[in-house]
């Protein structure tokens, strides 16, 4: 049409999307860079006829074959349209892939760069490669093996012999990317024909550690350059590269590893005057003090001493976020606070990095008293601890927590604490003070009295609760409260089954995390009947690696809003009976009551990077027809292989 783009412009648009970089094509990492699960770039060809026409040469310029099905499909395409093979300049073959590889090589006469893998298993078939290698004449050969132990089988030996014979006939071969570091079995088969042909002018090796061996093997070739792929450190250059060998030094091409981060270049302007354009002391509020003092990488105390203006504006920011790394700091800060009580108004967050907080040493006992004093004066505290650092809640005693609740309960929004259990039973009314609290990370076995007398509107702003450890009385307290804002809750396996809590608050929750064992503790109640508005739920294994009962994962609701299920599991050793149990689970899991369920994530899921069979793939194929994607920890789902 009159509005269609010219082919040259379409080519400029598509080239970045279809181009395979030189670094990626040559990559010899243990896991192939092409072992990804994103949509194939061939999808661009399906947009329209003009894209198909322009993108076809770009797509076939670099071809990567990673499976038998891909090899078969490529051979059929090249056999049906021999013009396609003329576009192939670089071919990367990561396996044997059977007889179709013969047709691929036969109809690709313009291959200049050939990448072959020696990760050949006994079940592979290299006959197609063996027959096709004499039909091409590449300029560069790249070999790759990712196995720690060299594989030895009939198929690999056939490929080695065929490659050795073909090298003798490849009169265009000038560049060799060598994977060998010593005279192993593979090297003994490949290196001699390369040296005998005396055609190589460029050699690439993996690191400087194999330089001496590589040069001794290939020094009879007319080399113009030896490339060391891995950056060379100062120590490697000193001990592994012979500087007294001028011939070798003239050949070497490498980059040096950086030993340190680049320094920030200072200003050398002799006319520079600090604060020359700053307003006078009377106009201080116009200075953007936040950007001047909020960067933790700057020595903040020194900045306060620059001038009275800096001190006045910077002091509130200097005390805004406090971290105590030890008891001595806590004690010292408590003394400062006695001299300057106004500092208590500046503090917005406090975190502790103490160890052995509950030891009975004199300094630690004094530190506990100091912290209580500090928290009783922090009248505008917004955050205590770091709720994102799961399992690392600051350890404090009850007196400190109570002091914080009374002094800053009206401003405190986030609280992460580990409170030591004491013989004394405490009053639950202390939680009435936490009117602004939104996030609570709780780890404590403290027991409470007068739960029924606690204000039912307590913790009315609480949205997120994480209980690493909690006493039964704490769960009873939460059940007593109305918790009108609660939406996200995590229960650990150190908590008793929170059935009463879920009966009262389950319908408010949108996110829930709990161990498998709690499902059994609910007995006749179903988790999704109690939590009728959940968007996502996370289960984690406690003592068992076996899956939950399928019957526990159903709802009596016709339509439940659940969209995601996550299983937090860590399989350090695969067990046949566990795999069998999960086979049964996935085959039986057909949640018709969850029409919105699209994602089932398993944290220990590991997608295969080759054609080796995987139970993860098997389970993914079971769930796919039901509209559910099995994903790993990163949220990556399996893309079906070409069959």
pTM value is 0.75
Name the strand (E) or helix (H) holding 449: strand 448-449
Residue 476: pLDDT over 80: yes
Is residue 302 pLDDT above 90, yes or no?
A: no
Q: What is the mean pLDDT of residues 300-328?
A: 84
| pLDDT digits 0-9 by tens, 68-111 | 888 999 999 999 999 999 999 999 998 898 999 999 999 999 99
Instruction: For 215-274, write each residue's pLDDT tens digit.
Output: 889 988 999 999 988 888 888 877 777 777 788 888 888 888 776 555 545 544 455 555
Two tokens, residue 405:
């609740």
Domains 7-192 and 296-485 share a fold: yes
Of 406 and 570, the structure prediction assigns the larger pLDDT to 406
Please tell me what DSSP assigns to residue 637: B
Q: What pLDDT sits at residue 492?
A: 87
DSSP state of 496: P
3-state class (DSSP) for residue 316: helix
Read off the pLDDT band of 572 (50, 70, 90).
Answer: low
Helix (H) or strand (E) holding 322: strand 321-324
The maximal CA–CA distance of the chain, rounded, in angstroms, is 94
- Convert the pLDDT of each residue in 340-396 to its tens digit: 999 999 999 998 876 555 566 777 788 889 999 999 999 999 999 876 665 567 888
CATH class of the domain defined by 7-192:
alpha beta
Integer angstrom CA distances of residue 566 from 17, 208, 510, 511, 522: 33, 45, 14, 11, 19
* CATH 3.80.10 applies to domain 296-485: yes
Q: 114 pairs with which residues across the strands?
A: 91, 141
Q: Output the CA–CA distances (angstroms, integers) from residue 65 to 75, 97, 211, 352, in the order listed.
A: 11, 9, 31, 54
- Domain residue limits, the chain: 7-192, 201-257, 296-485, 487-643
Q: At what angle do helices 49-61 and 7-18 cross, to 10 degrees?
A: 50
CB 104 within 8 A of CB 71: yes
Q: Which of 174, 229, 186 is nearest to 22 (CA)?
A: 229
CA 150 from chain centre, in angstroms, equals 30
Check residue 347 and give its pLDDT. 92
């Amino acid at each position: 049409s009159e509005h269609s783009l010219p082919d040259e412009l379409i080519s400029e648009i598509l080239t970045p999307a279809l181009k395979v970089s030189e670094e990626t094509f040559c990559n010899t990492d243990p896991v192939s860079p092409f072992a990804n699960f994103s949509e194939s770039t061939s999808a661009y060809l399906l947009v329209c006829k003009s894209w198909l026409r322009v993108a076809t040469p770009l797509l076939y310029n670099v071809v990567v074959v990673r499976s038998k099905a891909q090899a078969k499909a490529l051979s059929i395409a090249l056999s049906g349209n021999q013009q396609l093979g003329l576009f192939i300049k670089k071919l990367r073959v990561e396996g044997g892939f059977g007889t179709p590889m013969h047709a691929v090589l036969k109809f690709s006469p313009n291959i200049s760069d050939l990448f072959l893998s020696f990760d050949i298993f006994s079940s592979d078939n290299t006959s197609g490669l063996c027959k096709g290698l004499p039909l091409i004449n590449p300029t560069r050969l790249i070999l790759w093996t990712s196995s720690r132990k060299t594989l030895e089988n009939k198929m690999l030996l056939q490929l080695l012999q065929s490659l050795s014979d073909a090298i003798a006939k490849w009169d265009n071969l000038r560049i060799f990317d060598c994977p060998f570091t010593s005279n192993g079995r593979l090297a003994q088969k490949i290196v001699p024909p390369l040296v005998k042909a005396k055609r190589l002018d460029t050699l690439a090796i993996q690191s400087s550690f194999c330089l001496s061996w590589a040069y001794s093997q290939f020094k009879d070739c007319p080399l113009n350059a030896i490339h060391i792929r891995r950056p060379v450190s100062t120590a490697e250059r000193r001990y592994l590269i012979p500087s007294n060998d001028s011939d070798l030094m003239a050949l070497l091409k490498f980059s040096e590893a950086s030993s340190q981060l680049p320094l920030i270049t200072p200003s050398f302007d002799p006319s520079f005057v600090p604060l020359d354009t700053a307003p006078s002391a009377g106009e201080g509020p116009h200075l953007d003090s936040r950007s001047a003092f909020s960067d933790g990488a700057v020595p903040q105390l020194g900045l306060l001493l620059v001038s009275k203006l800096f001190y006045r504006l910077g002091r509130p920011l200097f005390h805004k976020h406090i971290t105590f790394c030890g008891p001595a700091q806590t004690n010292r800060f408590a003394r400062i606070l006695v001299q300057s009580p106004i500092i208590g108004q500046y503090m917005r967050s406090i975190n502790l990095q103490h160890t052995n907080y509950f030891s009975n040493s004199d300094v630690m006992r004094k530190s506990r008293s100091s912290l209580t004093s500090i928290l009783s004066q922090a009248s505008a505290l917004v955050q205590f601890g770091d709720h994102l650092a799961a399992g690392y809640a600051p350890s404090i005693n009850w007196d400190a927590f109570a002091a914080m609740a009374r002094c800053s309960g009206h401003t405190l929004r986030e609280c992460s604490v580990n409170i030591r259990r004491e013989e004394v039973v405490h009053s639950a009314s202390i939680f009435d003070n936490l009117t602004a609290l939104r996030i609570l990370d709780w780890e404590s076995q403290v027991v409470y009295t007068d739960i029924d007398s606690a204000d039912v509107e307590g913790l009315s702003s609480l949205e997120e609760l994480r209980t690493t450890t909690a006493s039964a009385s704490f769960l009873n307290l939460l059940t007593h409260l109305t918790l009108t804002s609660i939406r996200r809750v995590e229960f650990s396996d150190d908590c008793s089954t929170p059935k009463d809590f879920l009966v009262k608050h389950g319908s408010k929750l949108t996110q829930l995390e709990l161990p498998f064992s709690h499902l059994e503790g609910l007995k006749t109640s179903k988790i999704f009947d109690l939590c009728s508005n959940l968007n996502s739920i996370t289960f984690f294994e406690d003592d068992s690696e076996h899956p939950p009962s399928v019957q526990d994962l159903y709802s009596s609701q016709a339509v439940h809003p659940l969209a995601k299920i996550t299983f937090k599991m860590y399989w350090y050793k695969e067990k046949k009976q566990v795999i069998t149990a999960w086979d049964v689970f996935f085959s039986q899991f057909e949640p018709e009551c969850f029409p919105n369920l699209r994602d089932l994530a398993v944290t220990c899921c590991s997608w295969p990077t080759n054609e080796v069979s995987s139970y993860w793939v098997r389970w993914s194929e079971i769930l796919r027809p039901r509209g559910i994607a099995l994903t790993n920890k990163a949220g990556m789902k399996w893309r079906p292989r070409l069959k």
